Structure 1
Amino acid sequence: MDAQCLDWLRVARSRLPDGAKRLLLERYPDPARALTADLSRISSAARLPGSGRLMMKSFCDAQAVARDRAWLKCTAATVVGLTDPHYPRLLRQIPDPPVVLYCLGDTALLQVPALAIVGSRNPTPVGREIARNLARQLAGGGAVIVSGLAVGIDGAAHQGALDAKGATIAVCATGLDTVYPRYHQQLAGLIGHSGLLVSEFPPGTGVKRYHFPRRNRIISGLTLGTLIVEAARKSGSLITAFFAAEQGREVLAVPGSIHSPLSRGPHRLLRDGARLVESIADILEELPALGVAPGASDSAAAGSVRANSVLDAVDFAPTSVDQVIERSGLTITEVCAMLIRMELAGAVRSCAGGY
């Protein structure tokens, strides 16, 4: 471990408020210099009255630094500080960027154009398929997919990127030595091997409710835009969308059935001006900086959109095949094939009078 990495660990483990650390680093970009700077020069701005000639180093938890150092050596993880050249440019632009990022995997991905895909933890099979297919196509075209490692849409987005042998970043709400949810232990391992796991929380940090909104601002902050695929009215994924809007990033949403509670979130965003996404082409038109060729869309992505139109055409009351054809605008062959596939997936159920 080089000296600068150790200095960043000390900065991270200082008990000073993050605002004070940012002020010091703004004045002294070198972490070694920031650690030994006179705090009295920033005390009024950082709300540290009476700090005298104390230094940030004086507030450092040496035992925690030693534990972090040992963990980094064992895992080949690293830290990227706010003034480090490898710190992601877009994230540095948000109002409250993390002072330090703990990283496990390929940190070069922090510099690649990225899209966040987030949504419900309890999605429909069709919603899961849409997220996975869109992520696969975008990652296959060279974009990085960012999400939060949660079950549901997050996991589908990560998996879609891995399907394409593309890149994905998982932003964690715990220390990187803790995988949450445990269900995604294997997925986290795959991402750490071929993508990147990121957290602003040091090793040893467990699951805490208030960490998830903090995690969400990083998801949106790393990316050019945030895409919402299925979200209830009070879904946590909407927090990510709101952060994206506040940060001046694009917000995109996949529409759904007016009868589905999971359409409430996306439809609310669409009413507020989010970009409607029916295909990968909509994403590329809104975010050309992703650098994905228009030809990246293929039949799999188109199939996911057809599935969504079929699901929208099916009411909670029995709906005939003829009604589905009329509402979706698809052919009888496409509708029948999609209904069979969706029934096998558990998205619809056949009954007297249709589906």
Structure 2
Amino acid sequence: MTASQAPAAEWPDVARNPDDTLAWLRLVAAPGIGPVTVRLLLAAFGLPQQVFAQSMEALTSVVPRKLASAVLAAPGATMSHALAKTMAWLEQPGNYLLTLVDPRYPVRLLDLTDPPPLLYIKGDPAALSRPALAIVGAREATVQGKVDAEAFGRSFSEAGQTVVSGLALGVDAAAHEGGLAGAGGTVAVIGTGIDRVYPASNLELARRIAEQGAIISEFPLGMRGFKENFPRRNRLIAALARGVLVVEAAARSGSLITARLAAELGREVFAIPGSIHAPLSRGCHVLIRQGAKLVETPEDVMEEFGLSCQPGKVADAVQPAHSAPDDPLLAVLTHDPVTLDTLCERSGLAPETLATRLLELELEGRAERLPGNLFRSLS
């Protein structure tokens, strides 16, 4: 029987046992020790304190000598400071540390080949084990993309599904807002230490998520948002949810990584289509060609799981960002991106007048400028 398979009653609650907590932190912090190695050591010897009680010969029967030496080495000043900092953090209300053998550890993460040995949580640990759907997409999302992400998130949450996303700008932030509007709530998986919020502009959103759901990280306190952290974060988003919806994504996007990981884990993958001319639709179209389900409404997603929207919610869930056009320019400005020259020809407006009107419509949220100096209607 491995550590992850043992009955919960056999394992002490680290929240009540500082020595166990310190042993877990020290094992995970040992240089070169990753999630897979931790699981090997736990499976062979039991809890971390039992691992530390082993001889060099015993450890080298499971892991290379270099890693065995790292495990048995006494904590230096840097590690000791980090351990003390974490213990102080755990004393604050609403902060938790779940180990791989904690009965509150989300079972869905055990589908991973490398589940995190430790999860740092700010908020409610129970939120991690509720039925969940993930929403991911572009950081530089369009106005319509953010409207769609929030609408789908709200519908999922109202149907009792926790909305999981990555607390990034754009689609992620909008999805969390939608999740907060319903009973399902939301969970944010971050690629930094739990004591950091990245980007800083989402600080207030993070505070509300911690109060009404949970923020989780596998990274130690103080960890900055290094580029390599985010694929690791993405695998947790994919694993925690029963399905992943991609709202907008470029052809090369981290959201596609999340979708691929979800498919490998046997989760359902969904994508919202868009214009063939829109750069942020290309990633979704790639996923649809690869077998993701094309969706237009939240009900398209929820019917896969035998769920239904609240009465009257489906028709209102996803709407264009703004109502029908009442401006002559909007009569020739379509949802498909077009160039300024094309709009001049279609509208008969002088370039200077057209540029002014387009700026006004952008400020009103009724038109959008895309990369390549293209424009499209949001009405």
TM beyond 0.5: yes
Give the letter aligned to residue 9 of structure 1: L
2:224 matches 1:206: yes
The Cα shift of 1:125 comes to: 0.9
The unaligned stretches of length 5 or more in structure 1 are 320-340
Structure with the larger RCO, 1 or 2 (CA within 8 Å, 6+ apart)? 1
Counterpart of 2:326 in structure 1 is none
Query: What does residue 171 of structure 1 align with?
Result: 189
- State the SS of the aligned residue for 2:235: helix
Contact 1:15 1:59 in 2 (8 A): no
* Equivalent-residue separation in structure 2 for 1:123 and 1:193 (angstroms): 26
Q: Report Cα offsets for 1:213-252 as digits up to 9, x if no partner.
A: 1111111111112110110111221111121122222211
Give the Å deviation of 1:276.
1.1
From the superposition, tell whether residues 63 and 36 of structure 1 become closer, same or farther in structure 2 (CA, over 3 Å): farther
Identity across aligned pairs (percent)? 40
Which letter does structure 2 place at the counterpart of 1:257? S
Residue of structure 1 in register with 2:11 after alignment? none
8 Å CA contact retained: 1:115, 1:145: yes
> Matched residue pairs, number?
324
Match of 2:33 in 1: 17
Q: CA deviation at 1:44?
A: 5.0
C-alpha contact 1:280 1:301 (8 A) present in aligned 2: yes
Separation of aligned partners in 1, 2:32 and 2:277: 49
Aligned to 1:2: 16
The worse-fitting range, judged by mean Cα deviation, of 9-18 and 190-199 is 9-18
The answer (yes or no) to whether the contact 1:118–1:237 under 8 Å persists in 2 is yes
Maintained 8 Å contact 2:187/2:209? yes
Cα deviation, 1:291-315, whole Å, max 9, x if unaligned, reads x4344643331425998xx998545
Give the 3 Å change call, closer, same or farther, for CA 285–48 of structure 1 in structure 2.
farther
- TM-score scaled by length of structure 2: 0.77
Cα distance between partner residues in 2 of 1:253 and 1:45 = 43
Residue 59 (structure 1) shift: 5.5
- Which of 65, 70, 79 is matched with 2:83 structurally? 65
- SS of the residue corresponding to residue 150 of structure 1 reads coil
TM-score under structure 1 length normalisation: 0.82
Per the alignment, residue 315 of structure 2 pairs with 299
How far has the Cα of 1:31 moved from its partner?
3.9
How far did 1:74 drift?
A: 3.1
Please tell me the residue identity of whatever aligns with 1:207. G
Q: Please state how far the C-alpha of 1:128 moved relative to its aligned partner.
A: 0.7
Other-structure match for 1:234: 252
- Counterpart of 2:305, as a letter, is L
- Judge conservation of contact 1:125–1:346 (CA < 8 Å) in 2: no
CA deviation vs aligned residue, 1:151-195 (integer Å, no higher than 9, x gap): 000000001111225411111110011110001010011111111
Distance in 2, Cα, partners of 1:342 & 1:133: 21
- Matched residue of 2:317: which SS? helix
Q: Which runs of 5+ in 2 are unaligned?
A: 1-14, 324-329, 344-360, 370-375
Within a 5 Å distance, the mapping from 1:94-243 to structure 2 comes to: 94-243=112-261
Deviations 1:61-92 (A, max 9, x none): 33321111012213541111112111111111
Give the 3-state SS of the residue equivalent to 1:104 in structure 2: strand
Which structure has the larger Rg? Answer: 2
Structure 1 counterpart of 2:49: 32
Matched residue type, 1:156: A
Distance 1:282 1:38 in 2: 57
Secondary structure of the structure 2 residue equivalent to 1:9: helix
1:38, distance to aligned residue in structure 2 (A): 4.5
Contact map agreement 2:150 2:176 (CA 8 A) in 1: yes
Three-state SS of the structure 2 residue aligned to 1:206 is: coil
Match of 2:280 among 246, 254, 262: 262
State how 1:332-347 maps to structure 2 within 5 Å.
344-347=364-367
RMSD, aligned α-carbons: 3.0
Match of 1:250 in 2: 268
**Which moved further from structure 2: 29-38 or 274-283?**
29-38
Q: For 2:55 and 2:288, how far apart are their aligned partners in 1?
A: 49
Contact conserved, 2:278 with 2:337, CA < 8 A, in 1? no
Q: Which amino acid aligns with 2:314?
A: D
